[in-house]
Amino acid sequence: MKFLAKVFGKIGAGLSALRRYVAHILTVIVIIFVVSAIFAPDETPEVPESGFLVLAPMGVLVEEQASIDPTDAVLNRILGGGEVAQENVYELVTLLEQAKNDDRITGMYLNMRRFAGGSLNHLQLLADAIADFRSSGKKVYTAADNYTQTQYLLASQADEIWVHPLGGIMLEGLRTERAYYRELLDKLKVKINVFRVGSYKSAVEPYLLNGMSDEARENLEGWLNEQWQQYLTTVVRHRDIDPRMTSGKLEDLLAALEESNYDMAQMAQENGLVDELLHRHEVLDRLIDLAGGDKEKGEFEHINHRNYWQTLPESVRNRNADGMMSNNRVAIILAKGVIVDGQGMPTEIGGDRLASELRKARYDDKVKAVVLRVDSPGGSAFASEVIRQELLQLREAGKPVIASMSSVAASGGYWISAGADQIIAEPSTITGSIGVFGLIPTVDETLAEIGVFYDGASTTEIPGFSMTQPITEELGLVVQSGVDAIYEDFLDLVAAARGMTREAVHNVAQGQVWSGERALQLGLVDELGNLELAVQRAAEKAELESYAAFWPEREKTFMEQLLEQLGVVKADVEGLDIAELRQLLNPRMVLKQFNDPRAIYLRCFECE
């Protein structure tokens, strides 16, 4: 015991020292920031009288930037990582709408170098905005050393696409994969006790199998192929691309590559993916010729999109400008992340926290209707029901609720959506996954291998749950009955909300996942459209002649503003894999998401 006390004492001392170290660093950063702010010149960006807008999105597209934990941000930097940069897709769309009608902006250059992508519906929203800008007659150009498939979706909207002679682009299709742990768990003698309903509820398969089941593969391939067709439709709408490049057949790719003497860039040009092969200095010279500038200085007339955003009026940049003055608000409430019981973290949907936001809207006389923007693969069954009940209370109070599905609204995400008056999905939304599972790990056999055993006494015969004891047949029956009951409730609430029979719901349920387009055909959603349409439908439902959308307001803390100014949270795209890996390997983050009081979950892992 003394040895363990000494070990943990040293660990605690080390953590305390690290936190003090971080606190000192933050203090120094604050001092530097204050001094810099005092002596920094107050300059407002200027738009050139005639020049290009440079759209250079950095990181990933989001609908709302996540809050920043100052300590985590600094620690990530110390450890060599960083928070992945985010771009608000609605701000970019608004910015392009303004630039389209700005006579000073004569064209646009898309710089994809640090763009990491985003969900398909966000990419299509921005692609449509670029195409709309182009419809004004102003030309759009883009260049890259290499195009990722995600970057190319936006690049395909340009008038001219340039690529480096040693670069290229290959449309390899959409792919998703998961890790399967069955053999590892067997070796560690860790038993994962699984309770589920439905042939297609594959969320638990990684703990039971070493590979995907046929049922899961069939369902996955279905909605993945539908998303791929949506991608291709967007890519080819402005370009005459050789069908071999989009067929997905290896023989077509190899034939085209052989014709181009196995030169990827040449193949891209000869088959319509790009227009010209240009070195970096040639791209710069071309932009100077098109936009004007100084070749001797190597500069072309332009303003980057972040600076251009700062020049726009406050009434444009503040999306709640109209809502602040309106007594007829359509409140947009965001439900993004995994659903957990309690308050949750900023990147999660805390059942209590979201319920509180909905309750606040119910008692706000200025809020006449609500749009619940759902972007969630689900999670805790209990927390999902807490949220749904608040939606029903809103409706009983006479305030219509429209569920607007974003990238994902599956399992628990669909459960809460079913509480709305109407459901609107994007064509590329991943939804459905109407199914339930219970997940209880036990490590009694693992501990036995190293000579550790647990024993004790109880005042009743009723079995209790403990990770150190095997799941008895009786306890398994209790958990399975709970899972079955929740699934029956799921069928009932969907049948009532959608005007379907329980049998019809069961046929499209059992954990099956659908695209938004298929969900419309199956009766799981009412209409296809974006957030703007959902706001319009909410206003119509509330019979409002005049109204304003009102977004949730979250003022950035001083530390968040400080860290942004110092670039601590603006990581390059290369930091993306590091950040994802860190989150994946953080057991505290993973385990905290499994906090349902009955260990019963409505979650779609393959949708994430």
pLDDT, tens digit, for every residue of 28-85?
665 655 555 555 555 678 899 999 999 999 999 999 876 555 555 554 544 445 556 8
Determine the Cα–Cα distance for residues 317 and 45; give it in Å rounded to an integer.
Answer: 15
What is the average pLDDT across 299-326? 92
What span, in angstroms and rounded, lies between the C-alpha atoms of 510 and 525? 17
Partners of 51 in beta bridges? 105
pLDDT score for 86: 87
Rounded CA-CA distance 190/445 in Å is 7
Task: Quote the distance between the C-alpha of residue 434 and its chain's center.
Answer: 20
Local confidence band at 10 (pLDDT 50, 70, 90 cut-offs): low
Return mean pLDDT, the chain. 85
Average pLDDT over residues 143-147: 95
Return the pLDDT at 571.
Answer: 44
Give whichever of 118-132, 428-442, 443-457 has the largest mean pLDDT.
118-132
* Mean pLDDT of the region 198-223: 83
Confidence at 276, pLDDT banded by 50, 70, 90: very high
Is the separation of the CB atoms in 346 and 67 below 8 Å?
Answer: yes
Tokens at 528, concatenated: 């296809």
Q: Hey, is 360 helix, strand or coil?
A: helix
Beta bridge partners of 550: 331
φ, ψ for residue 128, nearest 5 deg: -65, -35
Q: Is the pLDDT of residue 2 over 60?
A: no
Global pTM reads 0.83
Angle at 396 between CA 395 and CA 400, to 5 degrees: 20
Domains of the chain: 51-169+274-315 (3.90.226.10), 319-456+465-554+595-607 (3.90.226.10)
Helix (H, G, I), strand (E, B) or coil at 372: strand
Distance, CA of 427 to CA of 503 (rounded, Å): 25
* Cβ 477 vs Cβ 438: under 8 Å: no
Reported as type and span, the H/E element at residue 44 is none
Residue 431: what are its φ and ψ, rounded to 5°? -140, -175
Q: Structure tokens of 361?
A: 């809207």
Residue 356 DSSP SS3: helix
Give pairs for 306-314: CB < 8 Å, separation 24+.
307/45, 308/45, 308/47, 308/53, 308/95, 308/98, 308/99, 308/105, 309/91, 309/95, 310/44, 310/45, 311/44, 311/45, 311/46, 311/47, 312/95, 312/98
Residue 460: per-residue pLDDT:
79
Reading the block at residue 35, the tokens are: 């001094």
Token reading at 318: 């503040």
pLDDT in tens, 101-120: 999 999 999 999 999 999 99
φ, ψ (nearest 5 deg) of residue 113: -60, -40
User: Got the DSSP string for 77-112?
Assistant: HHTT--PBPEEEHHHHHHHHHHHHT-TTEEEEEEE-
Buried b (16+ CB within 10 A) or exposed e, 133-147: bbeeebbbbbbbbbb
Report the C-alpha gap between 169 and 162 in whole angstroms: 11
Residues designated catalytic: 201, 411
The confidence score (pLDDT) of residue 263 equals: 96
Question: pLDDT tier at 586 (50, 70, 90 boundaries)?
Answer: very low
More confident residue, 198 or 46: 46
User: pLDDT band at 18, cuts 50/70/90?
Assistant: low
Q: Which two tokens stand for residue 480?
A: 């399975």
Please state the rounded mean pLDDT for residues 170-196.
Answer: 86
